[in-house]
């Protein structure tokens, strides 16, 4: 099938988040890990390319996304989406704004929107300010994120240093009036030279309004939820057709393992809940890894029972994370954890693991790369924005759940395995 919609995500968990929401429509979704080396073949109507560029140097992030854009255009895509985190994870340099402007230039478009809202997961935008639950972003746990601490909740102020053109707002009062009012507001801002428009959204109905107003724009940007209504809108207009039969994929029988590198507040609670359920766990300490390498955890992993479903985690409170970063440096501390968790994933495969639950965007990318996974087929959602996916690695069919740090309930890890078993 010719591709109609091409999305580029700044990390792997963001890509699976988007894939799960798009797959609700019944339209075929294909998720690629990185830009494929081969020319587009056997493409889906909805294609997603997962990059690892959220915290990459800006020039590198721009180059990666432009390469992905070229592949999607060759696949036939006519509409494009730049997907970033629903908490707008970025620094004053980028990479959200610089990538968006590069894509706009390449596509010859002069206006795009920004909407990281995800109401089902407690992300809302009101008067340009992003909320996590009932807290402004700058008062949430994101204020202490180890790589992208978010100390401002206003999306216009966050975006302005990252772009060269004017930034504006289409607020909730406009969105609540309907698609025509939103189109008129976008046209007004365009006439005023505003290229980057933040759009408020506090409920799923707002997302549909945005979709109806913006579905024919060449480039949209945002969190996954703002793209969720688009396939149904295009189905209603006859642009897309729904797959009547979708292949059911399964993993081989084998052990399960949980790998957690995220240090978000929710992941901390999820790790605690999983350990409290009686599952064996090994906590990775970057300082110990720097001194002794990964032999200790690999030896521990080898001794676990086939049905133990162990967890290996670097998840820790912000104070512990800062202590390791002060000694090792931010980049080295993160890299040591990612490499060790990736090594554990490969070791687990050798031990018979066929079910992987992975928490954290950077960790998910490192694990997928270590397992040489290049394509995922999207399955059932475990929680909003977190589907089970199926892939081939080392000659085996495996199931993989890749979770953004703050997504899911406290019982997510156990629940994920129960969903797959059923």
Rounded to a whole number, what is the distance in angstroms from the first to the last CA of the chain?
31
The string of pLDDT tens digits covering residues 136-153 is 999 998 888 777 888 899
294's tokens: 């990964």
Domain 5-236 sits in which CATH superfamily? Putative sugar-binding, N-terminal domain (3.40.50.10840)
At residue 127, the 3 state secondary structure works out as coil
**Arithmetic mean of pLDDT over the chain:** 93
Cα gap 283→289, rounded to integer Å? 11
Stretch(es) of the chain classified as CATH 3.40.50.10840: 5-236
pLDDT above 50 (res 25)? yes
Tokens of 49: 């390319």
CA atoms of 99 and 106, how far apart (whole Å): 11
Whole-angstrom CA distances from 421 to 13, 187, 284, 359 are 22, 50, 28, 19
DSSP 107: H
Question: Residue 247: pLDDT band by 50, 70, 90 thresholds?
Answer: low
Domain with CATH 3.40.980.20 in the chain: 255-421
pLDDT on residue 28: 86
In angstroms, the CA 327 to CA 307 distance is 37
Average pLDDT over residues 169-192: 98
Distance CA 94, CA 178 (A): 31
- The span from the CA of 209 to the CA of 212, in Å, is 5
Residue whose C-alpha is closest to residue 298's, from 357, 350, 344, 338: 344
Which residue, among 70, 37, 32, has the nearest Cα to 51 in the 3D structure? 32
**Residue 52: per-residue pLDDT:** 87
Give the residue, 243 or 339, on which the prediction is more confident: 339
At the topology level, CATH places domain 255-421 in: Molybdenum Cofactor Biosythetic Enzyme; Chain A (3.40.980)
pLDDT score, position 141: 82
Sorting pLDDT into bands at 50, 70 and 90, what band is 243?
low
Give me 272's structure tokens: 């605690």
Sheet strands (E) in 188-304: 194-199, 219-222, 255-260, 281-283
Return the number of other C-beta atoms located less than 10 Å from residue 405's C-beta.
28
- Residue 395, Ramachandran bin (φ over 0: left; ψ between -120 and 50: alpha; else beta): left
CA distance readout (Å), 137 to 132, 140, 178, 322: 6, 5, 27, 20
Angle CA(326)–CA(327)–CA(331) in degrees, nearest 5?
70
pTM of the full structure = 0.82
Both tokens of residue 292? 């002794």
The reported pLDDT for the residue numbered 325 is 81
Q: Which contacts of 136-139 are long-range, i.e. CB under 8 A and separated by 24 or more positions?
A: 137/87, 137/88
β-partners of residue 278 are none
Displacement of CA 59 from its chain's centroid (Å): 21
Contact in structure between 250 and 379 (CB atoms under 8 Å): no
**Span 47-57, pLDDT tens digits:** 999 998 998 99
Contact 391, 375 (CB under 8 A): yes
Which positions ≥6 away from 292 have C-beta within 8 Å? Answer: none
pLDDT tens-digit series, residues 310-331: 999 998 777 777 888 888 887 8
> Structure tokens of 317?
């409170």
Nearest to 48 by CA among 10, 88, 92: 10
Model confidence at 249: pLDDT above 70 = no
């Amino acid at each position: 099938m010719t591709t109609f919609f091409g999305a580029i995500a700044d990390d792997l968990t963001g890509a699976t988040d988007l894939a799960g929401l798009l797959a609700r429509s019944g339209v075929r979704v294909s998720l690629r890990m990185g830009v494929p080396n081969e020319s587009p073949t056997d493409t889906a109507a909805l294609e997603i390319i997962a990059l690892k560029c959220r915290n990459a140097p800006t020039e590198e992030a721009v180059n990666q996304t432009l390469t992905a854009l070229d592949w999607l255009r060759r696949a036939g895509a006519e509409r494009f989406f730049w997907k970033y985190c629903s908490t707008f994870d970025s620094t004053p340099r980028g990479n959200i704004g610089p990538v968006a402007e590069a894509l706009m230039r390449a596509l010859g478009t002069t206006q795009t929107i920004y909407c990281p809202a995800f109401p089902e997961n407690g992300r809302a935008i009101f008067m340009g300010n992003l909320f996590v639950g009932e807290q402004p972003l700058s008062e949430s746990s994101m204020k202490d994120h180890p790589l992208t601490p978010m100390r401002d909740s206003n999306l216009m102020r966050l975006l302005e240093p990252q772009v060269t053109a004017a930034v504006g707002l289409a607020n909730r009062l406009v969105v609540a009036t309907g698609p025509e009012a939103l189109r008129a507001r976008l046209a007004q801002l365009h006439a005023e030279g505003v290229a980057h428009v933040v759009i408020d959204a506090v409920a799923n109905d707002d997302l549909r309004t945005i979709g109806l107003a913006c579905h024919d724009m060449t480039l949209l940007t945002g969190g996954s939820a703002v793209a969720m209504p688009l396939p149904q809108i295009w189905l209603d207009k006859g642009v897309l057709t729904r797959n009547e039969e979708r292949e059911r994929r399964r993993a081989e029988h084998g052990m399960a393992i949980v790998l957690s590198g995220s240090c978000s507040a929710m992941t901390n609670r999820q790790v605690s809940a999983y350990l409290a359920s009686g599952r064996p766990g090994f906590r990775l300490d970057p300082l110990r890894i720097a001194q002794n390498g990964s032999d200790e955890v690999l030896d521990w992993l080898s001794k676990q029972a086939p049905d133990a479903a162990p967890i290996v985690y670097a998840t820790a409170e912000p104070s512990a994370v800062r202590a390791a970063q002060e000694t090792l440096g931010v980049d080295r501390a993160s890299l040591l954890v990612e490499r060790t968790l990736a090594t554990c994933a490969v070791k687990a495969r050798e031990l018979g693991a066929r079910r992987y639950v992975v928490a954290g965007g950077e960790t998910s990318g490192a694990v997928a790369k270590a397992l040489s996974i290049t394509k995922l087929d999207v399955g059932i959602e475990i929680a909003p924005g977190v589907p089970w996916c199926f892939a081939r690695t080392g000659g085996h069919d495996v199931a993989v759940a890749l979770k953004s740090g703050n997504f899911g309930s406290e019982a997510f890890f156990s629940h994920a395995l129960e969903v797959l078993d059923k």
